Structure 1
Amino acid sequence: MVVFSNVRLVEGACNCLADSRFKYNYRNKCDGRDLLGAIYDNSVPCVFFDPQYRGVLDKLAYGNEGVSRGMQRSMLPQMKEDIIKEFIAEISRILIPSGHLFLWVDKFHLCEGVSSWLPANLKIVDMVVWNKQKMGMGYRTRRQCEYLLVVQKRPLRAKGVWAVHDIPDVWEEKVSGDHPHSKPVLLQARLIEAVTNQGDVVVDPAAGSYSILTACQKTGRTFLGGDLVYGAD
């Protein structure tokens, strides 16, 4: 029995915005929850979410990092778990049936588990390990990877929904840029091609370096996203 296909049979809405305050293909400066709240129910096929986690900082009783640990990192508003859950609840609402959330997690939250953040209609179906090819920090092993959870809204299925079948689950891509949490454009572009069609809307409510905007430009998709710090003035 064939369980996969190179053709997507699922379509997203051409216009998912119910609020003219926000623009497509633009760096909206906003609270991501306001942006998500302005999107119609069941209207987008794909969302990327990269929270600014503070779970490990709470675990170690740290405050936000100061100037000595990096000015750019200290500027980013940290997200506690209740805020992350608010984002994911809204993402669940706006995703079309069988739509995908790509959720970036760090090693701490991967090990602690994130299933409690997901409502009943969202389920983790896969994971990609991103080898950044750059050594990071760590008391024991040094961090070189980040983790991208592939989450699908029910009904769970791949055939007719996921159209690219040559993406490895370990992806090597070096990134550069001024943002402290830059993400791999080429990986995200391939994932966008896997779960959307040309012209579909891809949402990123915590856009940071706007790597998803770049990925949308490369793939002919429509970007809808913003950031509290790095949006346009």
Structure 2
Amino acid sequence: MENGMGKYFKGLKAYCYNEWSALYLEDTFEALEKMFPETVDMIFADPPYFLSNDGISCSGGKAVSVNKGDWDKIGSLKEKHAFNRRWINLCRKVLKPDGTIWISGTLHNIYSVGMALEQEKFKIINNITWQKTNPPPNLACRCFTHSTETILWAQKDDKKSRHYFNYPLMKKLNGGKQMKDVWTGPLTPRSEKTFGKHPTQKPVYLLERILLASTREGDVVLDPFCGSSTTGVACKHFKRNYIGIDNNLQYIQLSIERLNNE
């Protein structure tokens, strides 16, 4: 094992680590299999949406390919669901008994994720709808504009599990009223893409709310598909410990730039 945050895996060396964060340039499945059990307080996962189907999307007012990369492609529905069940099963192993997992997705994958959570003995706490105030327009004009994503929040389906929820803070942040499960806000601003961008990068405010709602200062947070490490940025802001895993060197290097310059 290593010093600092590079101590949560057996026989696996962190690409970069310090006292509060560790980044692993590894296949998600292989890394999770080597992680010590019940070491993580919270997981945020933004897995592949599998929406890369050679279609067209809109970015900056221009028509662009919807394809994100080979990591966003899958052969069949059966393969997609097996993929989701496998990584969710491994996440359950490393999550503490009272820990929780948040998973973001669109219609292309989130229904498989929801089923996989139940099959892998998780209980869904909330179904959050993230409503985007500035979604890209629908160029085909043959359906409603896609302007939302779903974020599922779940805990282990165990009678002894007692998840943490900072209800008073969420109520305070919502003007003294109970916070609802529809969150409204803009897409990731350019200011958060100074060192480069990830095609599915989430805005920092979204991860900040998730962390404040379900973790305490000093907790260990894992992102098994970390991309550009928005989760890590939010962890740095609120003194949480961060573990990020990604198999793409470009995104790990982008993560390092972001975390070092926050």
Asked if 2 retains the 8 angstrom alpha-carbon contact of 1:98 and 1:154, the reply is no
Separation (CA, whole Å) in 2 of partners of 1:108 and 1:218: 32
- Partner SS state of residue 9, structure 2: coil
Which one-letter code corresponds to 1:129 in the other structure?
A: T
Match of 2:185 in 1: 173
**When the two structures are aligned, how many residues end up with a matched partner?**
214
Q: TM-score, normalised by structure 1?
A: 0.78
How far apart in 1 are the matches of 2:47 and 2:212?
23
- For residue 26 of structure 1, report the CA deviation from its aligned partner: 3.9
2:201 to 182, 187, 195: 182
Q: What is the CA distance between 1:65 and its match in structure 2?
A: 7.9
SS at match of 2:253: coil
Contact 2:97 2:161 in 1 (8 A): no
Letter of the aligned partner of 1:41 in structure 2?
P
- Of 150-159 and 82-91, deviating more is 150-159
Cα distance in structure 1, aligned partners of 2:246 and 2:159? 30
Corresponding position: 1:149 with 2:175? no
- Measured on the aligned residues, the alpha-carbon RMSD in Å equals 3.1
Structural mapping, 1:44-123, within 5 Å: 44-54=40-50, 62=53, 69=65, 73-74=68-69, 76-78=71-73, 80-110=80-110, 112=111, 114-118=113-117, 119-123=119-123
Q: Secondary structure at the match of 1:35?
A: helix
- TM-score (norm: length of structure 2): 0.70
Structure 1 unaligned spans of 5+: 1-12
Matched residue, 2:165: 162
Secondary structure of 2:69's partner? helix
Deviation, 1:92, is: 0.8
CA shift for structure 1 position 130: 1.2
% same residue: 23
Rate the CA distance shift 1:120–1:33 in 2: closer, same or farther, 3 A: closer
Deviation larger for 15-24 or 142-151:
15-24
1:232 to 249, 253, 261: 253
- Aligned pair in 2 of structure 1 residues 82, 159: CA closer, same or farther (>3 Å)? closer
Q: Deviations over 1:156-210 (max 9, x none)?
A: 6896722244244222232123221111322222222232222221000101121
C-alpha distance in 2, partners of 1:108/1:75?
16
